[in-house]
């Protein structure tokens, strides 16, 4: 019989925080900064709906599940859409089923987009999911050997990027990589470039809501301890050319914001940045540069290690769960898991629901989504 207590992460006992950390450290699959109590607490400081299910059996804590409690007895991954990985953190052979956990905390569904489940807690649930790859830069030993492996896998591309690196330095100025860059001006510029890119490509602006901006600022300002923000920037002379900002836990870095200076597009600054950042990993004390899932076209060349994650929904046991299962089946039959218009619409709706906490924000997001779809159709008609 499970005993599940639901708490705001800032109200966790010190002993529970230590236990959560030890469980995450004991399993390599849980090594991401996004899966420990520090990230849940950082999100909890900016979102009041953040919760952690502390799961006990016969008085012993056996697992932790952080989430956001949303309307309709729905749970979303803590920090979504910034949480590229999600998990119920536990020990090996936990004898846990997510359906029972959800029912115990009065939830019907838990939607995830990057599930890590090494012990099969989600395996037996009535769920609808699909698998995808996450990409990790994880050099084993000599960094030069890793860069050579990258070159061997994409010889023409890497040769061209190195040529552009030399050309940029020759024509503009000395290239330097700065980490951790303490410049708030540079931080604000990365955010501005990213928001411009989101608007240009028709992707929902996850940086518009107050809570996402405040979370990033809080982490940028946190520069002590094992868990903290990290900004790595590429400069040519005094000009900011490209950069990454994200969260670091020990030797694992997970960037969220990848931005480039549009004025330098002719030199492919993002690619130059990657090669320089990989080379600098030993000096930065980084063992893993975790790029997460999605955008395979550019991550695949550098993230030679893969981690398989799932995208879908877990459903609680009971009558409410059966109703939710029928709804998910209908969406799946309509093509919600595919690459077509229904799939794009469902993912856009999920993104909006994850990040926008007000009715006005959600309505604005849907209007923008419809406009984006119309622009896609118009462009396709012109191209045809």
User: CB of 64 within 8 A of CB of 32?
Assistant: no
The overall average pLDDT reported for the chain is 89
CATH number for the region 139-286 comes to: 3.40.630
Confidence of residue 368 (pLDDT cuts 50, 70, 90): confident
Please give the Cα distance from 302 to 292 (Å, whole number). 12
Strand duo 175-179 + 128-137: pairing: unpaired
**Low-confidence winner among 205-214, 262-271, 351-360 (lowest mean pLDDT):** 351-360
Of 289, 305, 18, nearest in space to 153 by CA = 305
State whether residue 54 is helix, strand or coil.
strand
pLDDT (average), residues 321-339: 65
Report the chain's C-alpha Rg in angstroms: 21
- H helices of 285-383, in order, are 296-299, 319-334, 341-355, 359-383
Structure tokens at 55: 């799961």
To which H or E segment does residue 312 belong?
strand 305-315
Dihedral sign for Cα 69, 126, 307, 195, please. negative
Q: What is the pLDDT of residue 61?
A: 96
Q: What is the pLDDT of residue 362?
A: 78
Please give the Cα distance from 261 to 233 (Å, whole number). 11
Percentage of the chain beyond pLDDT 90 is 71
Q: What is the pLDDT of residue 331?
A: 60
- H helices of the chain, in order, are 14-26, 37-44, 98-104, 143-153, 155-171, 184-201, 210-221, 269-284, 296-299, 319-334, 341-355, 359-383
Higher per-residue pLDDT: 266 or 354: 266
Task: Enumerate residues 6+ apart whose C-beta is below 8 A from 257.
Answer: 190, 191, 194, 216, 243, 244, 245, 246
Can you give the residue ranges of every domain in the chain?
2-130+310-334, 139-286, 338-384
Q: What is the pLDDT of residue 343?
A: 66
- pLDDT tens figures, 192-215: 999 999 988 888 899 999 999 999
Q: What is the pLDDT of residue 295?
A: 77
Pick the CATH number of 2-130+310-334 from 3.40.630, 3.40.190, 1.20.1740, 3.40.50: 3.40.630
pLDDT (average), residues 245-250: 96
CA 203 to chain CA centroid, nearest Å: 15
Q: Say if residue 80's pLDDT is above 70.
A: yes
State whether residue 84 is helix, strand or coil.
coil
Q: Do domains 2-130+310-334 and 139-286 have the same CATH topology?
A: yes
């Amino acid at each position: 019989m499970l005993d599940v207590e639901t708490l705001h992460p800032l109200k966790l006992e010190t002993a529970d925080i230590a236990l959560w950390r030890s469980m995450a450290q004991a399993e390599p699959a849980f090594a991401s900064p996004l899966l420990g109590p520090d990230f849940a607490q950082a999100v909890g400081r900016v979102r009041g709906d953040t919760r952690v299910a502390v799961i006990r059996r016969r008085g012993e804590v056996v697992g932790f599940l952080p989430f956001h409690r949303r309307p309709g007895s729905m749970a979303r991954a803590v920090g979504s859409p910034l949480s590229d990985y999600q998990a119920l953190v536990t020990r090996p052979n936990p004898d846990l089923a997510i359906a029972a956990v959800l029912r115990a905390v009065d939830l019907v569904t838990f939607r995830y987009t990057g599930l890590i489940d090494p012990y099969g807690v989600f395996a037996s649930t009535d769920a609808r999911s699909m698998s995808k790859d996450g990409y990790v830069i994880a050099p084993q030993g000599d960094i030069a050997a890793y860069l050579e492996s990258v070159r061997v896998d994409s010889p023409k591309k890497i040769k061209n990027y190195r040529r552009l690196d030399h050309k940029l330095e020759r024509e503009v100025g000395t290239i330097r990589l700065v980490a951790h860059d303490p410049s708030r001006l540079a931080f604000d510029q990365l955010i501005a470039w990213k928001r411009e890119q989101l608007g240009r490509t028709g992707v929902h602006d996850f940086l518009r809501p107050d809570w996402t901006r405040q979370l990033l600022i809080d982490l940028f300002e946190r520069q002590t301890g094992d868990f903290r923000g990290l900004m790595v920037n590429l400069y040519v002379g005094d000009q900011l050319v490209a950069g990454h900002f994200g969260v670091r836990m020990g030797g694992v870095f997970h960037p969220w914001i990848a931005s480039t200076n549009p004025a330098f597009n002719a030199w492919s600054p993002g690619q130059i940045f990657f090669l320089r950042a990989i080379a600098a990993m030993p000096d930065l004390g980084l063992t893993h540069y975790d790029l997460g899932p999605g955008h395979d076209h550019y991550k695949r060349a550098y993230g030679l290690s893969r981690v398989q994650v799932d995208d879908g929904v877990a459903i609680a046991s009971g009558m409410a769960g059966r109703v939710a299962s029928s709804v998910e089946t209908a969406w799946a039959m309509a093509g919600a898991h595919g690459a077509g218009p229904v799939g794009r619409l469902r993912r856009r709706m999920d993104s909006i629901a994850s990040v926008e906490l007000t009715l006005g924000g959600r309505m604005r997001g849907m209007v923008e989504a419809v406009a984006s779809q119309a622009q896609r159709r118009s462009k396709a008609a012109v191209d045809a």
